[in-house]
């Protein structure tokens, strides 16, 4: 029999292993989703490893830890940073850009932070991204969870997007990027610039190293720069988001000429447009590639593919013809020396912390008077931003957003409305180019529960109240259930939290501009009203 000292040591070791996978500051227990877990628990995983809109992902390994970032466009805070120890189980540990410049004090759909790259160099983490209206910017930090330094403009210019830095063996630094046709007037070209060793400034003199328009590889973009076995490699997607493929370019010289090869496409799978991401080598010598798949209203979800090198060319996914790969739906997990517990990015929030969960973002730069957190009242959203005609919530800054977390899920919350005037409302939204909401409102001294649909929101469309009913209370439980494959949404409410009644009609979620649909909380007031109204959300649950 074991003595008490041995039992104690075993218990401590077990707790240490358990907590080693926990990097969510809101909990001491690893968060495990009720709606999507990629780790099958038997040594295999399923794709996508993140069934959420982490568009244009890039990855870096430091020691035994992996770090990922992704596009955030105009959602604030920007540049999410995720952490993993096995490439399958991920958690959010912070954001590299808490606020953006003053342009983003109001919603800017589709603008902002495009296709970042994360790299580790001389004890610093670097994230570069392209803002199509400004140029290429960079932030750095010694701690990937933050705080990060203020942004630096590395290279000014309209239409410069999708940058990736590269530090060569001799200390020279370079930057590769693509072009946005909407700003530059052309695309399909990859360009390399020399940088200073610190990676803070790029020489404006450019060298175009590859033209996809001349090689049947249109819309080539999202380049990632590497060096392997004496070759310079640029990994880049081509062919468009929905139906494209993954290219690898290689050369013995940093400025080319580059030869190219398709290294992954859809093949016979149902995984469309598999491309745009980054590759890492594990401590055990395995190679892996992450990329996104466009799933319409669900956004650009993240897949993990095995990768190997054949004749100094990468082959990504299953290499049925030893020439190019196709994506996997299920595969053996990467090898690790230790066991790491299942963990997923947080979704639900009890609103009992001093800060919002890292899964939340806003539609614009956050203001301190938008919300408050209290252990007794939960999340209080102040109805300070007022709706002008035509009541378009996609133009309101203080809408609290979260990514769709799975193909099938239900989002439920309890809200109490404390209005100071008529027509203040608060509730849940499925936000996108069309959006639909269920909310509580007060009019003529009475409370109502309503469901509405707003079509063509990005072009200032029109709202239609589908159904509303009177309420006898100022508080209500709200629920939206989302069902695959088309993200059909059903709205319901409850007065007791047990029996839910349907309201309105089914709504098909729509993606936003470059992003998936979002599940959102809101509290707003009518135009020209006095400030003072608010709504208290007790909790928010994804199940």
**Known catalytic residues?**
56, 221
Q: How many helices (H) and strands (E) does the chain have?
A: 2, 38
Count, residues in the chain: 543
Cβ atoms of 31 and 346 closer than 8 Å = yes
Distances from the Cα of 506 to the Cαs of 359, 402, 430, 500, in angstroms? 26, 21, 12, 15
430 alpha-carbon distance from chain centroid: 16
Q: What is the DSSP letter of 327?
A: -
CA–CA distance, 325 with 319 (Å, rounded to integer): 4
Task: Give me 473's structure tokens.
Answer: 């209370």
Alpha carbons within 13 A on the beta-carbon side of 109: 19
Please give the full DSSP string across 71-96, using - where no structure is assigned.
--BT-BSEEEEEEESSSSSEEEEEEE
In contact, 2 and 11? CB cutoff 8 Å: no
CB atoms within 10 A of CB 253: 10
User: Measured between alpha carbons, how far is residue 180 from residues 49, 71, 161, 458 in Å?
Assistant: 29, 15, 6, 20
Interatomic CA distance for residues 501 and 530, integer angstroms: 33
- Strand-pair partners of 525: 386
| Phi (first) and psi of residue 394, to 5 degrees | -70, -10
Answer whether the bond into residue 48 is a cis peptide, omega within 30°. Answer: yes
Distance, in Å, from the CA atom of 289 to the CA atom of 287, rounded to the nearest integer, reads 7
């Amino acid at each position: 029999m074991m003595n008490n000292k041995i039992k104690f040591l075993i218990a401590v070791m077990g707790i240490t292993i358990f907590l080693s996978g926990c990097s969510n500051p809101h909990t001491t227990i690893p968060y495990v989703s009720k709606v999507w877990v990629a780790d099958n628990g038997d040594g295999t995983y399923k794709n996508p490893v993140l069934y959420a809109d982490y568009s244009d992902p890039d990855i870096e390994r430091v020691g035994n830890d992996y770090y990922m970032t992704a596009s955030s466009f105009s959602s604030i805070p920007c540049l999410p940073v995720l952490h993993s120890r096995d490439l399958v189980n991920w958690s959010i540990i912070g954001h590299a850009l808490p606020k953006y410049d003053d342009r983003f004090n109001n919603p800017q759909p589709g603008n902002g932070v495009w296709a970042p790259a994360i790299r580790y160099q001389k004890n610093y983490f670097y994230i570069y991204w392209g803002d199509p209206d400004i140029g290429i910017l960079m932030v750095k930090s010694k701690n990937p969870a933050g705080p990060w330094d203020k942004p630096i403009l590395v290279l000014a210019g309209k239409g410069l997007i999708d940058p990736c830095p590269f530090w060569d063996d001799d200390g020279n630094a370079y930057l590769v990027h693509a072009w946005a046709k909407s700003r530059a007037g052309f695309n399909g070209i990859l360009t390399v610039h020399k940088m200073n060793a610190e990676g803070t400034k790029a020489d404006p003199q450019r060298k175009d190293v590859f033209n996809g328009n001349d090689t049947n590889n249109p819309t080539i973009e999202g380049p990632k720069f590497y060096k392997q076995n004496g070759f310079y490699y640029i990994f880049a997607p081509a062919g468009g988001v929905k139906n494209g493929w993954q290219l690898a370019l290689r050369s013995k010289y940093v400025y080319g000429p580059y030869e190219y090869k398709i290294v992954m496409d859809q093949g016979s799978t149902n995984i469309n447009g598999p491309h745009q991401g980054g590759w890492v080598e594990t401590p055990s010598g395995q190679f892996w590639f992450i990329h996104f798949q466009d799933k319409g209203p669900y956004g650009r979800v993240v897949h993990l593919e095995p990768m190997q090198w054949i004749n100094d060319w990468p082959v990504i996914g299953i290499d049925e013809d030893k020439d190019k790969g196709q994506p996997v739906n299920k595969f053996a997990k990467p090898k690790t020396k230790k066991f790491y517990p299942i963990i997923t990015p947080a979704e639900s929030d009890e609103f009992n912390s001093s800060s919002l969960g890292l899964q939340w973002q806003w539609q614009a730069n956050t203001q301190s008077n938008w919300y408050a957190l209290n252990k007794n009242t939960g999340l209080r959203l102040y109805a300070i931003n007022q709706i002008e005609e035509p009541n378009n919530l996609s133009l309101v800054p203080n809408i609290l957003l979260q990514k769709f977390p799975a193909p099938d899920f239900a989002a439920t919350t309890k809200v109490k409305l404390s209005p100071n005037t008529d027509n203040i409302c608060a509730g849940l939204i499925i936000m996108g180019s069309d959006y639909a909401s269920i909310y509580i409102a007060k009019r003529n001294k009475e409370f109502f529960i309503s469901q509405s649909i707003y079509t063509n929101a990005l072009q200032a469309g029109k709202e239609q109240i589908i159904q509303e009913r009177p309420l006898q209370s100022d508080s209500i439980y709200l629920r939206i259930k989302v069902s695959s494959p088309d993200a059909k949404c059903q709205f319901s409410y409850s007065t007791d939290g047990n029996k839910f009644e349907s309201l309105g009609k089914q709504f098909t979620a729509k993606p936003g501009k470059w992003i998936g649909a979002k599940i959102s909380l809101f509290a707003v007031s009518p135009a020209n009203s006095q400030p003072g109204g608010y709504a208290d959300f007790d909790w928010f649950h994804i199940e």
